[in-house]
């Protein structure tokens, strides 16, 4: 059915039925709705604040309020029970849908989830396996962290780990009431760094669990009853996110002015900076979500026994190009109400859809008339999405700052290289590298200087390795080298050479030249271990021994 036909029918019915004009006039009033947040007010939700402040919600006919989360509240159920029309949720939304709770995801804000586990250096937790037997504070909707622990083989029963509900703060960690806690890497690390404490971050991405984060959602019943409201709220919210990520200083000031100074401007801007690589707004349209990746998330949860296998995600994902027709239209068509009410209802509905299609035409300037133009637009979008998927697949293997391979690809490549070494009967050395006193560089010269130190080490690793070697940024200030064909002594020599080159490297900052050193641990296949997990553990232990011995040194595993 072409757009011109829809307009013609809508106009005819509207002229014939005066009740339609009364209803259309009533729609000019702002509709009150609320958005349920998943945390307290902070930059994490800046896009929604921008949509309100800049009038995008008002232009959509909406009067929006925000509900902060409470520690003992299930925010997803708050939306399902109608306490809020919309909400922000984690990948847990999939688990709710699998349990029959009818949530619908409208769009993705974080392309990479910021959820992780943090521990202080004083806790004695230096790898994720040491969390067993500890006291851990976990927030609501952190299922991906439990998936991370399960994949790493960490027992998660209450008898092995003492789980505590989250308090929305870091005081329990600082006071020693808990040994570790769930965090957003965009948030809590700021407070810990300001306290002058060293900490460790354990991210699910290190185990190949790279999920979406902070997803906008609603209930299926609300979508069916108010499809135009959902479309308008989604569009206005994404406009707000585009504005917020382009105006961080303005948004930080707005958050403080409207919601108080629970966080200072420096902390809000820190949050913004940490969000950038997780949202990638310069590469991925805000709100974009790929069904294949959601299916992968479902498969991971199913693999770990957290939901049923072969779960169909189709009804879980919102399709803005699908018209969700309210049930009363079908009742009217069946003769439950009279023809005049049917005509009036259909006219109102067509008027709403016509306005929505008109906005799409003005926005894209591609769709002209009828389904053929829509199909052309869709084909273009599919080609763009396919191109973006290829680009994202390549980026998923690299660290955005140093352009080295990342931790995710490390695990895949190490398994392949060990299998090759076994077939050829050759050794393989693994070198774990950590920049000494890296936190002091950040504290003294700022995070930009710290980034330059990381890039400098990456350049040394790249220029000093053979074509068959592989260098990785493992996380934070940790790097790893895979050296096929090298035994422990040769690996030690290579690590020593890198250590000396890096010790002589000066990083220019606004306050003068910064110098630092590195420590390294070396473990070799098959001398120290014959599988990837044990080899990594041995190298990590050797690195820890080098640091304990005074830093700026290398150490072979025992």
Residues with catalytic roles: 477
CA distances from 379 to 374, 386, 423 (A): 9, 11, 47
Geometric angle at alpha carbon 209, from 207 and 210, rounded to 5°: 125
DSSP states of 498-533 as a string? HHHHHHT--EEETTEEE---EEEEEEEETTT-SSHH
Half-sphere exposure of 116 (CA within 13 A, CB side): 21
Helices then strands, counting H and E runs in the chain, come out as 22, 18
Report the chain's C-alpha Rg in angstroms. 27
Closest CA to 295 of 284, 285, 307: 307
Instruction: State phi, psi for 288 to the nearest 5 degrees.
Output: -65, 140
Residues in the chain: 558
Phi-psi region of 370 (alpha: psi -120 to 50; beta: other; left: phi over 0): left
> Kind of pairing, strands 162-165 and 135-138?
parallel
Q: Which residue's structure tokens are 């306050």? A: 511
Task: Please spell the DSSP secondary structure of 59-117, one letter per residue.
Answer: HTTEEEEEE---TT--HHHHHHTTS-SEEEE-THHHHHHHTT--EEEEEEEESS--EEE
C-beta of residue 499 within 8 angstroms of C-beta of residue 460: no
The DSSP result for 124-167, as a single string, is T--SGGGGTTSEEEE-TT-HHHHHHHHHTT---STTTSEEEE--
Q: Cβ contacts of residue 456 below 8 Å, gap of 6+?
A: 502, 505, 507
Angle at 506 between CA 498 and CA 190, to 5 degrees: 95
Beta-carbon contacts of residue 339 (< 8 Å; ≥ 6 apart): none
Answer whether 212's CB lies under 8 Å from 113's CB.
yes
Give φ, ψ of 108 to 5 degrees: -110, 135
| Both tokens assigned to 83 | 């306490």
What token pair was written down for 92? 């847990």
Q: Give the bridge partners for 110, in sequence order.
A: 213
Is the Cβ–Cβ distance between 413 and 470 less than 8 Å?
yes
């Amino acid at each position: 059915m072409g757009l011109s036909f829809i307009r013609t029918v809508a106009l005819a019915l509207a002229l014939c039925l005066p009740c339609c004009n009364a209803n259309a006039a009533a729609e000019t009033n702002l509709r009150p709705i609320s958005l349920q947040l998943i945390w307290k007010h902070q930059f994490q939700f800046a896009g929604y604040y921008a949509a309100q402040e800049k009038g995008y919600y008002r232009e959509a006919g909406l009067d929006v309020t925000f509900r902060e989360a409470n520690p003992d509240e299930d925010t997803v159920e708050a939306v399902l029970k109608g306490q809020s029309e919309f909400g922000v949720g984690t990948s847990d939304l999939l688990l709710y849908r699998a349990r029959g709770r009818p949530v619908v995801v409208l769009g993705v804000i974080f392309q990479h989830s910021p959820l992780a586990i943090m521990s202080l250096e004083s806790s004695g937790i230096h790898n994720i396996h040491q969390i067993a037997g500890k006291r851990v504070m976990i927030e609501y909707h952190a299922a991906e962290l439990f998936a991370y622990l399960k994949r790493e083989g960490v027992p998660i029963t209450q008898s092995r780990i003492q789980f505590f509900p989250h308090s929305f703060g870091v005081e329990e960690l600082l006071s020693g009431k808990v040994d570790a806690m769930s965090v957003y890497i965009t948030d809590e690390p700021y407070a810990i760094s300001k306290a002058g404490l060293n900490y460790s971050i354990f991210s699910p991405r290190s185990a190949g669990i790279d999920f979406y984060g902070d997803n906008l959602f609603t209930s299926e019943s609300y979508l069916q009853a108010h499809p135009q409201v959902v479309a308008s709220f989604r569009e206005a919210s994404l406009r707000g996110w585009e504005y917020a990520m382009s105006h961080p200083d303005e948004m930080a000031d707005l958050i403080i002015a409207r919601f108080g100074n629970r966080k200072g401007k420096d902390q809000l801007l820190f949050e913004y900076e940490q969000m950038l690589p997780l949202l990638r707004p310069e590469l991925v349209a805000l709100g974009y979500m790929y069904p294949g990746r959601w299916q992968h998330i479902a498969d991971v949860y199913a693999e770990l026994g957290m939901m049923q296998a072969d779960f169909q995600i189709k009804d879980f994902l919102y399709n803005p190009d699908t018209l969700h027709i309210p049930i009363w239209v079908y009742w009217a068509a069946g003769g439950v109400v009279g023809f005049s009410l049917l005509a009036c209802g259909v006219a109102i509905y067509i008027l709403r859809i016509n306005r929505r299609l008109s906005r799409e035409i003005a926005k894209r300037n591609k769709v002209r008339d009828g389904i053929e133009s829509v199909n052309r637009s869709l084909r273009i979008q599919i080609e763009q999405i396919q191109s973006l998927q290829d680009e994202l697949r390549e980026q998923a293997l690299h660290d955005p700052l140093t352009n080295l391979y990342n931790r995710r690809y490390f695990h895949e490549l190490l398994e392949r290289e060990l299998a090759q070494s076994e077939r050829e009967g050759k050794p393989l050395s693994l070198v774990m590298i950590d920049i000494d006193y890296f936190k002091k560089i950040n504290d003294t010269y700022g995070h930009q200087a710290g980034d330059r130190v990381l890039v400098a080490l990456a350049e040394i690793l790249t220029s000093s390795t053979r074509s068959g070697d592989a260098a990785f940024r493992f996380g934070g200030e940790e790097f790893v080298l895979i050296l096929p064909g090298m035994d422990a002594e040769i690996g030690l020599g290579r690590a020593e050479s890198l250590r000396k080159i890096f010790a002589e490297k000066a990083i220019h900052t606004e306050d003068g030249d910064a110098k630092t050193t590195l420590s390294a641990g070396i473990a070799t296949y098959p001398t120290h271990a014959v599988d990837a997990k044990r080899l990594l553990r041995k190298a990590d232990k050797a690195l820890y021994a080098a640091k304990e011995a005074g830093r700026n040194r290398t150490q072979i595993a025992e």
